[in-house]
Structure formats: C-alpha cells, structure tokens
Structure 1
C-alpha cells in the first residue's frame, strides 16, 4: 500500500466521537496513520470532559512526540508516570523525550527503569546510547 495514501487519509468522523471511548479509537487510528494534528483535535474535547483519562492522555503524549513538541510531551508523560509508575511505555517515552532535549542525565533513570521492567532489547539499547551521550561510557579505542 502506498504510504502517502495512508499518511494523508482524512480522519474518520463517527457519531458521538467526542465521547472518550470513541475519541480514543479515532485518535488512535489517526496516530497510526501518522496524523498527530488531527488526533489532537479529536482528543481536545474528550479531554475537556475527562481531563484525567489516562488512555486519552497517553494518546496526547504520543501525538506530541510525533510532532516533536517535546516540552508538551514531557509534561504529559511526567503526569502519566506519576499516575502510573509501572507504565513502561510512558516511562520509556519520557526518557526519550528528555533525551531528544539533550537532557541525558534526567533521561537515564526513566530509560533504565523501562529497560528493567520490560527486558526489551530496544529499551536496553536506549540506555546504552544515552549513557554514551551523557559521557558515562566511552567507546573502546
């Protein structure tokens, strides 16, 4: 399938889409199709109705990351990590957001925890990458 067709497909509009569960489905679909701006438009009214909805806030963080709005993503992810400290995705995403802002020392604890909780090799590689960027390890000569 042509990636351009998927990327620029118009958003789905469903009756009752402002209900949190419908907004979640539509926004998730939009994010999968790489349409973060449209996803944020769908999420805004649903989050007004339910500002502490973890699922909706997770999608908003994902949208901010996709737009490289790193400060907004960091704020959203910090809230998510505080609410659910065992959320591996939020913890790793917070670490990545901090890394992308060149705040390596702040990123490391989140990335290490995500790697320890998940055992995911990609998470472990993120830890090594940020340790190197932070000057904690050096490459062999």
Structure 2
C-alpha cells in the first residue's frame, strides 16, 4: 500500500510539473484520501486544483491544510489568491496578513504576489 501511495504521489508530482493539473488531481486525490494528515500532499493537490481553476475544491483543501498546519504561510498565501479569484477580497486580506506575519514579508500583503 505504501508503494502505491508513493507511486501515485510521484505521478501526481510529475503531472503537476508538466502542467497537467487534472492528471495531478486524479493521481493525488487517492493519496490524500488514504493519508489525510499529509499536509505536503494535500498542499500539492490544492495547488493542482487552483491551477485547474477548480477554486472551491482548492479552497477546501487549503482549509484542511491550514487546520492541520496553521503556520504554513504558503497555504495562507494560496488561500488569499484562491479567494481573490472568487472575488472575495475581504476574506483574502486576512490570509495575506497571516502569510505576511508568518514570514515578515510585507510584499505578501500585495495582491497577485504568488
């Protein structure tokens, strides 16, 4: 089982690097289902959803990452971008402020810094 997860993750990462985001989603979703606390895989899945313009599933995955790892600045930054793409700038601002506070980088407060 561990070998299958590793294979699926590797495949998902390859698809992502090739910009086949839907292929990455198909490969990564079963891994996340099997190992829901694996923040790294879940974050990669969220990125694939985001780049595939599947913003609601991206938001759901990012919420799960933030719940498990509230100091993961990149998840907050991605959440801000995801919310901005959904025309929800007020909600996005909260996540930008958290990302900036976690990193000390005020540039993250500016929209479109991903």
- TM-score per shorter chain, which class? 0.7 to 0.9
CA distance in 1, matches of 2:30, 2:62: 20
CA distance in 1, matches of 2:61, 2:23: 18
RMSD (Å), alpha carbons: 2.1
Residues 1:74 and 2:59 aligned together: yes
Instruction: Report which of the two has the higher share of helix.
Output: 2
CA distance in 2, matches of 1:48, 1:125: 34
Q: Which has the higher contact order (CA 8 A, sep 6+)?
A: 2
Corresponding position of 2:41: 56
Corresponding position of 2:75: 90
| Post-superposition offset of 1:32 | 1.8
CA distance in 1, matches of 2:105, 2:12: 26
Gaps of 5+ in 2: none
CA distance in 1, matches of 2:108, 2:92: 12
TM value normalised by structure 1 = 0.69
Moved over 4 A (4+): none
Tell me, yes or no, if the aligned pair for 1:24 and 1:55 is still in contact at 8 Å.
Answer: no
| Post-superposition offset of 1:119 | 3.6
Corresponding position of 2:85: 100
TM value normalised by structure 2 = 0.84
Gaps of 5+ in 1: 1-15, 130-141
Distance 1:43 1:99, change over 3 A: same
Tell me, yes or no, if the aligned pair for 2:93 and 2:109 is still in contact at 8 Å.
Answer: no
CA distance in 1, matches of 2:33, 2:92: 30
Corresponding position of 1:32: 17
| Post-superposition offset of 1:122 | 4.6
Tell me, yes or no, if the aligned pair for 2:37 and 2:68 is still in contact at 8 Å.
Answer: no
